[in-house]
Amino acid sequence: MQQEIVLEVKNLVKNFKGVQAVKSINLNLHKGEVLGLLGPNGSGKTTTLAMLLGILHPTSGSFSWFNNGTQDENRKRIGSLLETPNFYPYLNAYDNLKVVGIIKNVPNLQERINSVLEMVDLKERGKRPFRSYSLGMKQRLAVASALLSNPEVLVLDEPTNGLDPQGIAEMRQLIIDIAKEGKTIILASHILAEVQIICSHIVILREGEMVYNGSMERLLNQEQAFRLSAANMQQLEQALHSIPGISIAERTETDLLVTCNEKIDGSLINKRLAEQGIYLSELHAHQKNLETIFLEKLTK
């Protein structure tokens, strides 16, 4: 059964005074996916999100939410957190959310406020003024505000920015809990370990250009890798150079990390080396983490 497409992007481009900030992005976001939008500063992440949310106009290309183009009514189905939380400092969480809810015309407002505050674990501290909140609490209240109208899609730009380790862990769990409810999420973040845990799909941008678009699973498993060691590491390295389809990715004093194409597995490596009189003392599969793959994508 084919998943419903929530967002379709075709050849999206944004120029600023002759500089191409976003270069022909194409992607489909399906219902229930958690999409990680990755890239270094200046890669076009925030510009892309701003276009998709109607804050910036594309130079060329198009996008469509819910198979409904760029109609203003689409925004009612999208919640977003793009900047530092901006609430009235002297009002408490309940009253700040009441202001937001009136603006958004949220039905059953008081009930919905209670629900989202409980979801972000602020219900017990909801009567405290916003100015007394820690940065993590402020970020969670901003997520509560984005969820207030019960949107189908949640767009979060660097929701863990500036948070301490505890705050990052709390925000990670909150996003995971929201995703479990079936909401579609777009998450832009610099914290790759968090993205690897949270996201089902990944888009990597480099200088405005999309260099990867696909599932997290495919990204992490697109190359086989093994760690090898033998009594004579120099002979091992020389022998590996003679086996087609194998590349040495990393050298240490005790082992070698090799990558290989899909036709080569551990047993074949062991066999080819044994034929050359080299017997391995270590051979085990190695999976690269998202950070390693991300950095490789940026340098290729």
- Using the 8-state DSSP alphabet, how is residue 72 labeled? G
- Cβ-based burial of 107 (10 A; exposed 0-12, middle 13-18, buried ≥19): exposed
Report field, pTM of the whole predicted structure over 0.75 = yes
Check residue 205 and give its pLDDT. 93
Check residue 128 and give its pLDDT. 94
Check residue 250 and give its pLDDT. 84
Check residue 2 and give its pLDDT. 63
Check residue 1 and give its pLDDT. 57
Check residue 217 and give its pLDDT. 87
The b/e string for 166-176 (b: 16+ C-beta within 10 A; e otherwise) is ebbebbbebbe
pLDDT under 50: residue ranges of the chain? none
Q: What span, in angstroms and rounded, lies between the C-alpha atoms of 142 and 159?
A: 9
Q: Which residue segments constitute the domains of the chain, with CATH numbers given?
A: 5-219 (3.40.50.300), 221-299 (3.30.70.980)
Query: Could you give the angle at which helices 135-147 and 93-104 cross, rounded to 10 degrees?
Result: 30
Query: Among candidates 22, 10, 28, 7, which has minimal Cα distance to 78?
Result: 7
